[in-house]
């Protein structure tokens, strides 16, 4: 009887522990209060908006500092939205946390975060909040510097250049010292030096081949694209990473990087949700995520 009692107790404890681990990973919120490291450089102060005229339509925005044109493409039975961006300083390309807080399982919809920071244009980011490791550098402040094995990151430098790095090969503090302004830690890299760097078999973990996608690319100095594709519906199939890389290359990018996709993929522009985000294809709705990449003041 003692043997069976021990087994019963062991099973109960195991079940409770398993439930806790699931809750801790996906539900329980935790604000991180670890030390942050700020960069020792200053970027342009973007708090004061342009003193000139602002021109806006459903598919465009232009002022003295920011120019954005939105286009819709159809490729591989998929609807793809491209925001072509030109800015006068990298300080107008920013990142933001859900609820303005660095932490675990602290989330909000892309449109909610974009509205809160008065973004002109925004896409979902790297969903750092569901990862225990991986570099987190946002707007020149380093929040997490624990490397993840085989993780490719996109580094956005203060001069506006992009670089794709492996976290195991360079420390986050070294990147900060080298002028890193933002690090996006999801991946993989799609295009580097104008060439596709993923294969037809490359995927994120065990994800399906065709998915809604979010990506960012650099065409030229202070000239970028945000790209979001719909997927998982009869109307829009979705893209593989290789198809996404090919599409980005055809846009003329020299560097392109994959961000969190699937139900997270969302684009916001001029106060509106642009695409049709879905997790399972049955319902069009935004998934709450931990961060965004945006253009704004």
pLDDT per residue over 1-21, tens digit each?
Answer: 555 555 655 555 455 444 444
The model's pTM is 0.87
Mean pLDDT across 242-251 = 97
The set of residues, in sequence order, having a beta carbon less than 8 Å from that of 14 and lying 6+ positions away, is none
Mean pLDDT score, 217-234: 98
Instruction: Tell me how far apart the alpha carbons of residues 200 and 74 are, in angstroms, rounded to a whole number.
Output: 20
Output b/e per residue, 99-135; b: 16+ Cβ within 10 A: beebbbbbbbbbbebbeebebbbbbbbbbbbebeebb
> Once rounded to an integer, what is the mean pLDDT over residues 126-138?
94
**Pairwise pLDDT comparison (14 vs 43), residue with the higher score:** 43
Cβ neighbourhood burial of 280 (10 Å; 0-12, 13-18, 19+): exposed
pLDDT of residue 207: 59
- pLDDT, one tens digit per residue, over 109-124 is 999 999 999 999 999 9
- Residue 287: pLDDT above 80? yes
* Average pLDDT of the segment spanning 48-53: 73
What pLDDT, on the 0 to 100 scale, is given for residue 202?
Answer: 78
Arithmetic mean of pLDDT, 158-168: 98
Average pLDDT over residues 165-174: 97
Q: Tell me the average pLDDT across 186-195.
A: 97
Instruction: Give yes or no for residue 80 having a pLDDT over 90.
Output: yes
Task: For Cα atoms 137, 139, 142, give the angle at the middle one, nearest 5 degrees.
Answer: 30
């Amino acid at each position: 009887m003692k043997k069976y009692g021990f087994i019963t107790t062991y099973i109960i404890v195991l079940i409770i522990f398993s439930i806790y681990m699931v809750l801790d990973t996906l539900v329980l919120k935790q604000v991180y209060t670890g030390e942050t490291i700020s960069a020792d450089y200053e970027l342009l102060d973007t708090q004061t908006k342009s003193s000139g005229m602002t021109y806006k339509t459903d598919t465009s925005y232009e002022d003295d500092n920011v120019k954005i044109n939105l286009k819709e493409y159809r490729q591989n039975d998929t609807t793809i939205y491209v925001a072509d961006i030109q800015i006068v300083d990298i300080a107008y390309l920013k990142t933001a946390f859900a609820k303005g807080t660095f932490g675990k399982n602290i989330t909000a919809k892309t449109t909610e975060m974009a509205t809160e920071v008065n973004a002109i244009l925004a896409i979902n980011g790297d969903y750092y909040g569901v990862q225990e490791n991986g570099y987190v550098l946002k707007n020149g402040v380093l929040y997490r510097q624990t490397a993840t094995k085989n993780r490719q990151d996109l580094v956005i430098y203060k001069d506006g250049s992009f670089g794709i790095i492996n976290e195991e090969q360079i420390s986050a503090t070294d990147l900060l010292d080298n002028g890193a302004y933002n690090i996006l830690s999801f991946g993989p890299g799609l295009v580097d030096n104008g060439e596709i760097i993923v294969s037809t078999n490359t995927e994120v973990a065990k994800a399906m081949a065709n998915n809604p996608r979010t990506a960012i690319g650099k065409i030229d100095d202070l000239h970028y694209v945000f790209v979001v594709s719909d997927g998982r519906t009869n109307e829009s199939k979705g893209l593989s990473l290789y198809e996404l890389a090919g599409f980005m290359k055809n846009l003329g990018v020299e560097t392109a990087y994959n961000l969190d996709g699937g139900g997270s993929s969302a684009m916001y522009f001029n106060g509106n949700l642009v695409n049709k985000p879905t997790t399972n294809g049955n319902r069009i709705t935004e998934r709450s995520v931990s961060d965004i990449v945006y253009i704004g003041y």
